[in-house]
Amino acid sequence: MARAVFASFLSVFLVAGTVSAADKEAPAKPEAPRTLPAAPRESRPLALPPLYTAFAALQVYDVYSTLKGVKSGAVEANPITTGVAAHPAAFFAVKASVTAASIYAAERLWRDHHREQAIAIMVASNSVMAIVAARNAAVGPSPR
């Protein structure tokens, strides 16, 4: 009986050792990660980034010229910003929010495949701000 138990253990160890040795000799090759082909990204038209930049620059000029005008005694003509024009930080925050909201709206339109409207909203926003900037320049204090 002892011989049968010993023979059973010996055969189990030999078989296990052979399988273990086979695993060590021929490691399985790792599979290459599967990747899906990237969807083609539609690039923005060349007009949008400059329109964003111009809009931000016009907003900065509006803040500068309005604060300079208010400091020298002028009155803010826009009834929406009349209350904050006397407070530079608040006025800048309002103008930054308007700028970010306009650019965000154009980006959403672009992503939702309303590309013409995205460009149109930025052209309209820039046009309005250019008129405001020209008005501020005309009303502002004259250089000495």
Question: Tell me, what's the pLDDT at 77?
Answer: 85
Question: Taking residues 90-100, what's their average pLDDT?
Answer: 95
Residue 120: CB atoms within 10 Å: 13
Question: Tell me, what's the pLDDT at 118?
Answer: 94
Q: Does position 94 have pLDDT exceeding 90, yes or no?
A: yes
Question: Tell me, what's the pLDDT at 46?
Answer: 78
Q: Which residue has the higher pLDDT, 15 or 123?
A: 123
Tokens describing residue 58: 């016009």
Contact, 102 vs 122, CB < 8 A? Answer: yes
Q: Tell me, what DSSP letter sits at residue 44?
A: P
Give the integer Cα–Cα distance in Å for 67 and 75.
Answer: 10
Question: Tell me, what's the pLDDT at 9?
Answer: 39
Residue whose entry in the numeric block shows the structure tokens 């995205």:
118
Angle between helices 48-71 and 88-111 (to 10 degrees): 160
Of the listed ranges 38-42, 76-80, 110-114, the one predicted with least confidence: 38-42
Question: Taking residues 95-103, what's their average pLDDT?
Answer: 95
Contact, 44 vs 110, CB < 8 A? Answer: yes
**pLDDT tens sequence across 5-60:** 344 433 434 334 444 444 455 556 667 667 766 555 666 667 899 999 999 999 99
Cα–Cα distances in angstroms (integers) from residue 142 to residues 5, 65, 71, in the given order: 110, 12, 14
Question: Tell me, what's the pLDDT at 57?
Answer: 97
Cα–Cα distances in angstroms (integers) from residue 97 to residues 39, 78, 82, 94, 105, in the given order: 33, 16, 16, 5, 12
Of the listed ranges 21-30, 74-83, 95-104, 113-122, the one predicted with least confidence: 21-30
Residue whose entry in the numeric block shows the structure tokens 């339109």:
109
- What is the model's pTM? 0.66
